[in-house]
């Protein structure tokens, strides 16, 4: 098993990631309407939503804190991992978000997908505070083993700055 995972924070369009998998900030029904999910569906093409619908028909809705995997349609990545994070105010949000991230990374590892990019899950329309989201995601990815690269990718500058600041605090705490 690989021991050293390279973790980075990047500003950019997650749909352009040429690695093995991207993580979609999904809802329970894998309905790719807006936000990150909508962008992924538009770039991936109709087969992505069709495959997601088939997954839900076969397995049922994806519970909060879990993830599902599908093909990537026309995306440069090989797979899309749909992680269902919590809606803010639903209770036990930190644990649910950490579970969603771990579930997504575990699916990647189980499928031999070693280079993964993920967004600030639940921090958009689900309302999870960005600074808290960054802390939970960073704590989760830094404790995960078995991947070569985890890229924390967000399009907007304010979210990227929050993740960079959280990463700096995390590094400072780890070195003290």
Q: How far apart are CA 79 and CA 111, in angstroms?
A: 9
Q: What is the pTM of this model?
A: 0.95
* pLDDT tens per residue across span 129-158: 999 999 999 999 999 999 999 999 999 999
**What Rg, from alpha-carbon coordinates, does the chain have?**
15
* pLDDT tens per residue across span 39-85: 999 999 999 999 999 999 999 999 999 999 999 999 999 999 999 99
- Please determine, looking at this structure, whether the domain spanning 6-175 carries the CATH number 3.40.220.10: yes
| Burial of residue 3 (number of CB atoms within 10 Å: 0-12, 13-18, 19+) | exposed
Q: How remote is the C-alpha of 151 from its chain's centroid? A: 9
């Amino acid at each position: 098993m690989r021991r050293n995972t390279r973790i980075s924070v990047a500003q950019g369009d997650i749909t352009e990631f040429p690695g093995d998998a991207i993580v979609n900030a999904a809802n329970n029904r894998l309905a790719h309407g807006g936000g990150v999910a909508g962008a992924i569906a538009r770039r991936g093409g109709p087969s992505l939503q069709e495959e997601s619908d088939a997954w839900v028909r076969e397995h049922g809705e994806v519970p909060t804190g879990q993830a599902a995997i599908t093909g990537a349609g026309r995306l440069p990545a090989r797979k899309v991992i749909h992680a269902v994070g919590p809606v803010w105010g639903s209770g036990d949000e930190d644990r649910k978000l950490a579970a969603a991230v771990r579930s997504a990374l575990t699916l990647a590892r189980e499928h031999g997908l070693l280079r993964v990019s993920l967004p600030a899950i639940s921090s958009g329309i689900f309302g999870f505070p960005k600074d808290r989201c960054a802390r939970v995601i960073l704590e989760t990815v830094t404790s995960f083993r078995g991947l070569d690269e985890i890229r924390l990718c967000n399009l907007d500058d304010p979210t990227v700055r929050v993740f960079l600041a959280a990463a700096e605090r995390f590094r400072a705490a780890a070195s003290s």
